Structure 1
Amino acid sequence: MFQRRGSVVGSEEQRQVRRDQAADELNRHGNRQDGQRVVTRLADGFTLLRTSLYERVHRDVEQVLGRDSMFLPISEVKAEKVSKTEIELYQIAVASQMNRRRRYVGADTEWFWQWLARLRLGRAATDPLVIRRIGEYLALDEDHGRLAFTDVLAKALPESRRAPLVLFRLVPLAIQIVTAQAFGDRPTAEALRRQQVDILPAITDCRTCRGQLLESGTHCPPCGNPVWRFQWLTAAD
């Protein structure tokens, strides 16, 4: 019923090496034994969110609203790479802020974001620009961080400004849900989903998933849950 999507960052072998290293590091740092499960859920969940969000702000916008010649990027390949990288940086920051609040791996935000950056970005995690961008997000509260993210995304992908604004209210909560699920915090994940339903009640209208939480890395083909398709995002209009 529900489907998975693969990553496009690095080879499968490279991704698996990063996952194994991250799992070992998490186990050592937190004196735990569930590192592999946590890492798998985080990686699968964030890969799906990144891929789905890019589709919503790019392909869905063009399919529904048409391609605007004023918004054509010089290089679509470059625009996709920059956009997906920025999505990753934002996910790392939001997840790190949540860990600071929930203390899944203690309150050491610096260790957590560096660990997650290595998992998601590999060697690029040590790039000074990457470090600066994550730091800028971490210095902002949720609302200002979201606004900063949408502004940066629009520079790389101008058509994202035409996406329904409600999408960008749902995304930070989706990132937090992936984080909560990865660490086995089902009650928090369910509470976050209820917040999403309050923002967009149409989430529960899908006859396939009914807006329920799905396993990390899986999505509902009809509605797009956990990153909803255009017709669901505009259902209240």
Structure 2
Amino acid sequence: MSRYDLTDFEWRVIQPLLPNKPRGVPRVEDRRVLNGIFWVLRSGAPWRDLPERYGPRTTCYNRFVRWRKAGVWHRLMDAVSAAHDSEIQMIDSTSIRAHQQAATGKRGADQCLGRSRGGLTTKIHVVVDACGLPIRLGLTAGQAHDGQIVDTLLDHLGPRAIVLADKAYDADRIRELIQQQGATPNIPAKRNRKWKLCFSKRLYRERNLIERFFSKLKHFRRVATRYDKLAANFLAMIQLASIRLWLRANESTA
């Protein structure tokens, strides 16, 4: 058993959430295939280097893509994060270097690749809860401003929630979006602000949790460097890494 494989606890949580296939040819065991997908995610190795114990690499890759298209990873993410602590939410982003093979996809479609001083990059945007666990995820090109994707990441705030963010999110539009949902922004003001805003330095210190989340996320080498040509596949890898972090947190408290 590889140290990247699902534990019995993790498998008990995931198994009921997977698609059922009552008819047709029996498919390769889901747990073995998932272990193969997680091996690629954690090791960062190409699919063709998948060890034989996980079965045919084409089976693992095809199921990863098929279930991504069917929304399985998205539903899994929603299910494991449903019990999140929403009293405090934090939003931030991190830039990921894209490997040269990620830039060889079809031209024309928006694959969230941007060229900056460091080369091709993709920016991961995340909202985490009060425990530093991910709730919402998104991607943009590396040079995009952090506020570009806020509308889709901060549209499910609960009343009385407090949103922590850095100065990049200090915009009237973002503050209004938060307040319209009954939540409170705790964002430091930019220097060019003409009036003083309510801001708690004590609460703002909690933002270290989202930095720690990014550190844990980058332990998954398939996320720390982007190898996927398709943005949808890269986002699915981030969802799987986030699911694994949720499962480990839940297992430690079970």
Higher strand share: 2
- Judge same fold: TM > 0.5, yes or no: no
Which has the bigger relative contact order, CA under 8 A and spacing at least 6? Answer: 1
